[in-house]
Structure 1
Amino acid sequence: MIYAQILAGGKGTRMGNTPMLKQFLPLGKEPILIQTIEKFVLEERFKAIIVVCPADWVTHTEDLIHKYVTDSRVVVITGGAERNDTLMNGIAYIEKTFGLNDDDAVVTHDAVRPFITKRIIDDNINAVMHHAAVDTVVPAIDTIVRGEKDQASEIPIREYMYQGQTPQSFNIKCLKKAFNQLTNAQKAVLSDSCKICLLAGEEVHMVRGEVSNIKITTPYDLKIAQAIVEKRVII
């Protein structure tokens, strides 16, 4: 079975003073979260589409989905304190509700990347059937500088550098095993889900993302997203 998990647990601190969490802000005629969910509803191969959000926002999320989405595969559950806790809450829900088979997979995506394309979703599904972990990336355009406290320590060759996006997709049993092998110290600093598998020695396959698959994190990002939506309406 293949499952989708929409990660909507972020607090949105970089969005500034807004009346609600960034994933619930309007983008054109619909909230950002709804536009993201609608892309996944189009994929018939998903057994369930799990939206994971903060506990205080579960009712609001369910109300939005009831208003905009008619697909019964979409369910809402409570997230965790950190991103990977939220991810594992979704995995626990899958295991409890459906059980787990060796080849079950999950396609995880940021709720605030509403411009995800069918091609990217297809590529993730096809790749995770053959690889334990899959990351969506685009080649780095700018030079990457590694440093700490205003001191550059390394400038890697840009040809080998990529910018990570989502979806990130996993064989569920491999992800669970890798996560359970992490120390508490590793979990505390882990900001990327694919790194769970890398730390466990699993290979991470890469598929091509799109520059347009932006993450709406700041007020500037929201302005860009609004411009994209308005341009599509005009066209």
Structure 2
Amino acid sequence: MEKTNVFGVVLAGGIGSRMGNVEKPKQFMEVGKKPIIIHTIEKFVVQPQFERIIVLSPKAWLNYTKDVIRKYIREKDKIDVIEGGATRNDTIMNAISHIEKQYGLDEETVIVTHDSVRPFVTHRILEENIHYAREMGACDTVIPATDTIVASADHEIISDIPDRSQMYQGQTPQSFKAWKLRQVFEALTEEEKKILTDACKILVLKGEKVHLVQGEVSNIKITYPHDLRVAEAILGGEKTC
């Protein structure tokens, strides 16, 4: 069987406003004496199934991103740094367009999209994302919800308490056959695009199946100052997975 092209897509387009008044986006803040984004990219470059790693950065930080990668990553020739979009999904579409122009795109091309500020993704999670994206067309990394989920339509009064056994917390990677993802995204109305919260919802809105991949509690997203301390603690006891 012909080899499927698989691309890692590291989403570093945000500026990290919830981290507080910091001088640079959170993906460039240091944990364990290296920028967070470097820990993340390191997990991708050692995955042999990735043909290329596409890193998407805010326009103002493109050169900085390239400089940081040159400084820390030995396999830098495997990495492309390009500009992100206005939204998360626009950023993913930029990655797909780049892959199409530079390397070619067909119905079997797989992208594994991941937050640059989730530096503790494991080899297993990446492997399973690649497998299920190939087999099912799309997958999402999740962990079971441990707390009761309370819904409130008006943000004041409880409107629903769904069955926790059916609830999951979304993580990343989210992985897809890129051709199909773009096809479905371009078919959405502007109203549908406005309610998108992540890439998987593109497919869910149109009734497409998205397989679940078991995540890890340690696969945290570094969003708030407290998360930096948690990340340092994880790094202190991290083992290769």
TM bucket, shorter chain: over 0.9
- How do residues 127-166 of structure 1 correspond to structure 2 at under 5 angstroms? 127-147=132-152, 148-166=154-172
- How far apart are the structure 2 equivalents of 1:146 and 1:206? 22
**Does residue 194 of structure 1 match 2:196?**
no
1:15 aligns to 2:45 (yes or no): no
For residues 45-99 of structure 1, the C-alpha deviation after alignment (integer angstroms, 9 at most, x for no partner) is 1111000010000000000000011211111000011111111111110111111
Structure 2 unaligned blocks of 5 or more: none
Tell me whether 1:207 sits opposite 2:213 in the alignment. yes
Distance 1:107 1:232, change over 3 A: closer
Secondary structure, in 3 states, of the residue corresponding to 1:130?
helix
Structure with the higher strand share, 1 or 2: 1
2:159 partner SS: strand
- In structure 2, what is the equivalent of residue 46 of structure 1? 50
The residue aligned with 1:181 is: 187
Alignment partners' CA distance in 2, 1:228 and 1:18: 23
3-state secondary structure, aligned to 1:97: helix
Cα distance, 1:188 vs structure 2: 2.1
3-state SS in 1 of match to 2:158: strand
The question of whether the paired residues in 1 share the 8 Å contact of 2:15 and 2:24 is answered with no
Q: Is the 8 A contact 1:52 1:78 kept in 2?
A: yes
Q: Give the aligned residue type for 1:20.
A: K
Find the aligned partners of 1:180 and 1:200 in 2 and give their Cα distance: 12
Counterpart residue identity of residue 27, structure 1: V
Counterpart in 1 of 2:72?
68
* Superposed structure 1 runs of 4+ greater than 6 Å apart: none
- Root-mean-square deviation (CA, aligned residues, Å) is 1.1
Letter in 2 for 1:162: Y
Q: TM-score, normalised by structure 2?
A: 0.94
Which of residues 28, 31, 38 in structure 2 aligns to 1:27? 31
Asked whether the 8 Å contact 2:8–2:113 carries over to 1, the reply is yes
Percentage of pairs with the same residue: 51
Between 1:182-191 and 1:6-15, the stretch displaced more is 182-191
* Alignment coverage as a number of residue pairs: 233
Structure 1, unmatched stretches of 5+, are: none
Q: TM-score when scaled to structure 1?
A: 0.97
Whole-Å Cα distance in 2 between the matches of residues 125 and 93 of structure 1? 20
Aligned pairs for 1:95-114 within 5 A: 95-114=100-119
